[in-house]
Amino acid sequence: MNLYPYANWVLMCFMLISLMQCDKPMDLPLADPDNGGLFLPGNFAALVVVDSIGRTRHIAVNDNGDIYAKLSYNDAMDGANGTVGLRDIDHDGRADSVVYFGDYIDEGGSAVGVTIRNGYLYTSLVRKVLRNRLTMGELVPTSKTEVVLTDVDENVVKNWHTTKPLAFDNKGYMYVPFGSPSDACQDIHKYGPVGIPGGKGLDPCPELEDHAGIWRFEEGKIGLTQRDGYRFATGIRSVVGMQWNPADESLYAVGNGIDNFNTIFPDIYTLWQAAVLPAETLMKVTEGTDYGWPYAYYDHIQQKNVLQPGYGGDGVKVGRANQYADPAIGFPGHWAPMDVLFYQGSQFPERYKHGAFVAFHGSTDRSPYPQAGYIVCFVPFENGVSAGHWEVFADGFTGVDTVVNTSDAVYRPMGLATGPDGSLYISESNQGKIWRVMYQGDPDDFGEVQLAAMDMRKSRSYIKTPDPEKDNLMRGDQLKGGILYNTYCASCHQRNGKGDNNLFPPLADSEWVIGDEDRLIDVVLNGLQGIIEVNGKSYNGLMPHNKHLDDHSIASILTYIRSHFGNDAMPVDEPAVSRIRAGSK
């Protein structure tokens, strides 16, 4: 029996009764005494709208205040109903009605989220973009689901850079990114997505034909494939968040830079350089823009594009990198920007109407230095151009002073949305908490005094630039297995072996680790792609091969993980690795 229509009717009645009981707009709700654990600039306050709804990606807020959230992996409802509708019936700012719905199945864990446009709820999956017509009063859409776009690349679910956030302009177009399947355009068929140490990039890079760019489509059409679109911009490795800025009528996107610099180019980049480079970027994307991937990357320390080592670079050389566009601003490496929002509400002080909010999911691969990011920042704009610096706007998500492992962070900021009253909503992906941020002072009184306290938070270990020596968490003697684990494995599985609760699974109490020895050796030696299940959760991260390590090194790593993180399994010896390696040839 379908109860959605009845539930929607009841909710509509509650709304009508509530509206009849008041003849003026409701005041802002009371904030939580501790602002839901967040640190915010002076006179800003926050409350928790909902908690623990499931691993939440992006969010959208309708004109009536209803919130929609997209879950990762549909893990709240055993593989289906991966969208959540939230409604505040009694106007206290908190969700009273929480409904899971969605007649689709995700094929990967990085499904981005939801977008509301012209009365439609758009849902972005890894391979598809769907939409449903929203009807006034309904929380859960009862309209037929239409397939707007299908990515026909059968390999798309093997890489997490193919998420498809949406942006719409004011000219009748829809924009969709198609990410790159590799880090630096090495031969993925021969070496896998990460490549091999010192490997050269393909030139010209064949991925640029159908990937690493943003495509433009006519808005309103359904049944589209990539061939129906137009390559609007190129040279952009991975985009998870985009927005059209009506102030300058331009598309903006946040990009994730190349990973694994020390792994791919160990002779050029130290572990410290690999931790802080390359820059994550906020890009103004105009028609025909080329941001240079894979031939170049932006170095926020040098504040310029430099040549990528796979194409002859050495970390300093510019070469042909000077022909590519500079971003609006560069952020520290691996902070993982997930969403961008140009504030268009009327509640916040005037300065926040001239710039962009950016949500950082936080790093996974900064080991042996502290993981970093995990904040929402604000980038001021002056005369329509980035002022060249960023400010801490919302902090407190980590719950700890130093994030040694990604899993140490209690919350990881993900999505941003503006409500009809101008409140800013923030989602996070670990547990599924959503905050509502409000301004409760006189907007004309906001200034440098309120910003000063937030600027002091830049000294925190997950925000500041790490000191190469003092902040190195690997100091001290360690056995070879531990050293190699922290060098090659901790960036994904984390130093405590608990994974990142998103793409990379835990090693603690994992059947993959303490179970069949031959299977474990094969995974570490030859890599692994595709969805796997560990401790009841699905993961779709990429495990690169480690054929470049000798048999003793791999045996040392496996012995280490089978005897740490609470595991108690037999050690692995060199002959076992040699046997698996020989059988793989």
**Residue-level pLDDT, tens digit, the chain, 585 residues:** 344 444 444 444 444 434 333 333 358 999 999 999 999 999 999 999 999 999 999 999 999 999 999 998 654 445 568 899 999 999 999 999 999 999 887 766 566 789 999 999 999 988 899 999 999 999 999 999 999 999 998 776 565 577 899 999 999 999 999 999 888 898 877 766 666 777 789 999 999 999 999 999 999 999 999 999 999 999 999 999 999 999 999 999 999 999 888 888 888 998 899 999 999 999 999 999 999 999 999 999 999 999 999 999 999 999 999 999 999 999 999 999 999 999 999 999 999 999 999 999 999 989 889 999 999 999 999 998 999 999 999 999 999 999 988 999 999 999 999 999 999 999 999 999 999 999 999 999 999 999 999 999 999 999 999 998 788 776 543 457 888 898 889 989 999 999 988 889 999 989 999 999 999 999 999 999 888 899 888 998 888 899 988 888 888 899 899 989 999 888 887 778 888 998 876
pLDDT of residue 464: 97
Q: Return the SS3 of 201.
A: coil
pLDDT of residue 90: 95
Q: Is the dihedral of CA 480, 481, 483, 484 positive or negative?
A: positive
Task: Let me know whether 110 and 180 are in one domain.
Answer: yes
Residues paired with 116 in a beta bridge:
121
Q: Are 462 and 398 in contact (CB under 8 A)?
A: yes
Task: Let me know whether 31 and 147 are in one domain.
Answer: yes
Q: What angle do the packed helices 574-584 and 517-526 form, to 10 degrees?
A: 60
Q: Tell whether 466 is covered by a domain.
A: no
Task: Let me know whether 409 and 537 are in one domain.
Answer: no
pLDDT of residue 15: 44
Task: Let me know whether 83 and 166 are in one domain.
Answer: yes
Task: Let me know whether 44 and 168 are in one domain.
Answer: yes
With vertex at residue 417, the alpha carbon angle to CA 413 and CA 418, rounded to the nearest 5 degrees, is 135
CA distance 417 to 410: 21
Start-to-end Cα distance in the chain: 55
CA distance 152 to 489: 32
Q: Tell whether 467 is covered by a domain.
A: no
Task: Let me know whether 505 and 454 are in one domain.
Answer: no
Domain count, the chain: 2
Q: Tell whether 473 is covered by a domain.
A: no
* CATH number, residue 227: 2.120.10.30
Q: Which of 424, 459, 494 is the last residue of a domain?
A: 459
Q: Which of 459, 490, 521 is the last residue of a domain?
A: 459
- CA distances 12 to 8, 87, 512, Å, are 6, 10, 49
Task: Let me know whether 439 and 394 are in one domain.
Answer: yes
Burial of residue 25 (CB within 10 Å: 0-12, 13-18, 19+) is exposed
- CA distances 194 to 102, 190, 558, 562, Å, are 34, 11, 21, 25
Among the listed residues 231, 318, 229, 335, the one whose alpha carbon sits nearest the alpha carbon of residue 282: 335
Q: Tell whether 79 is covered by a domain.
A: yes
Q: Tell whether 376 is covered by a domain.
A: yes
Tokens of 246: 């009506």
Residues 6+ apart with CB under 8 A from 83: 68, 69, 70, 71, 100, 101, 102, 114, 123
> Where in the sequence is the domain holding 530, given as residue range(s)?
480-584
Q: Tell whether 464 is covered by a domain.
A: no
Among the listed residues 205, 210, 306, 203, the one whose alpha carbon sits nearest the alpha carbon of residue 257: 306
Q: Which of 394, 426, 459 is the last residue of a domain?
A: 459
Q: Are 175 and 215 in contact (CB under 8 A)?
A: yes
Task: Let me know whether 323 and 258 are in one domain.
Answer: yes
* CATH number, residue 533: 1.10.760.10
Task: Let me know whether 421 and 328 are in one domain.
Answer: yes
- CA distances 473 to 271, 277, 382, 405, 557, Å, are 11, 18, 39, 11, 18
Among the listed residues 434, 541, 396, the one whose alpha carbon sits nearest the alpha carbon of residue 114: 434
pLDDT of residue 73: 65
Task: Let me know whether 414 and 365 are in one domain.
Answer: yes
* C-beta atoms surrounding 494 within 10 Å: 28
Task: Let me know whether 248 and 277 are in one domain.
Answer: yes
Q: Tell whether 27 is covered by a domain.
A: yes
Q: Tell whether 468 is covered by a domain.
A: no
Task: Let me know whether 453 and 490 are in one domain.
Answer: no
* C-beta atoms surrounding 387 within 10 Å: 15
